[in-house]
Amino acid sequence: MTSCVSKNTNIATENPQSRNIVKSNCPFPIKQGVVYGKGISQFDSTFIIFVTKQLLFDLCEGHFSHLLGFVDAETGLFVDAKGYWSKQEVALDLQDPNGYFSLYYFDQKKLDLKKGNQGNLTIRDVFVQAGPVVIDIYVGSKEEVELKFRFDSNPKLERYLINPSFIKIGNNWYLHRMF
């Protein structure tokens, strides 16, 4: 049985209200799309969707309290197209009110200040504006999958995201690349 269920990490994440987050209707509407390729079981694909829904619910609520439980201690996490972080670095950033996750995922005001112009979208803003989310799974092998978020109501917003990926180590699935 795959067991990548989030464990209580005792890492305090910042209060959403201190990040200028306006509550929206949570959770975001999500449905599983197509599974492309073979090599993973229905249980595995269901579990990957479950983990993704949990992370998107956290995003909607304005925190990533479950993220560390889905990151492998040895392989860490790619946080964008180029940046690899260890699990410890992810934990430290989640505690930082001016860190990467706070800036790019949650706090539009800080993002606007950093970029020097108004109207930038955080990753949370993208999902709030996107409407229903369809998650397609691309199976690379029995140990690696990539997800594609589709926004049928607003496909132009898809360009703001990178495709997350998951890896299977032993019997456990872990998030390997953040969205």
According to the 3-state scheme, what is the secondary structure of 97-161?
CCCHHHHHHHCHHHHHHHHCCCCCCCHHHHHHHHCCEEEEEEEEECCEEEEEEECCCCHHHHHHC
Is residue 17 over pLDDT 60?
no
pLDDT at 12 over 70: no
Mean pLDDT of the chain: 89
Predicted confidence band at 25 (pLDDT cuts at 50, 70, 90)? confident
Is the pLDDT at 156 greater than 70? The verdict is: yes
**Burial class (CB within 10 angstroms; exposed 0-12, middle 13-18, buried 19+) of 71:** buried
Residue pair 113/122 in contact by the 8 Å Cβ criterion: no
* Cα 141 from Cα 144, distance rounded (Å): 5
pLDDT beyond 80 at 20: no
pLDDT band at 26 (very low <50, low <70, confident <90, very high): confident
Q: Which pTM value belongs to this model?
A: 0.86
Read off the pLDDT band of 80 (50, 70, 90): confident
- Which residues have C-beta within 8 Å of that of residue 58, sequence separation ≥ 6? 64, 65, 66, 67
Q: Which sign, positive or negative, has the C-alpha torsion 92, 94, 97, 103?
A: positive
Strand order in the sheet with 144-150: 30-36, 133-141, 144-150, 165-169, 172-177, 77-78, 84-85
DSSP state of 23: P
Span 63-82, mean pLDDT?
A: 94
For 46, residues 6+ apart whose C-beta sits below 8 A from its C-beta are none
Q: Does residue 81 carry a pLDDT above 80?
A: no
Tell me how crowded residue 178 is: count the other CB atoms within 10 A of its CB. 24
Q: Residue 149 above 70 pLDDT?
A: yes
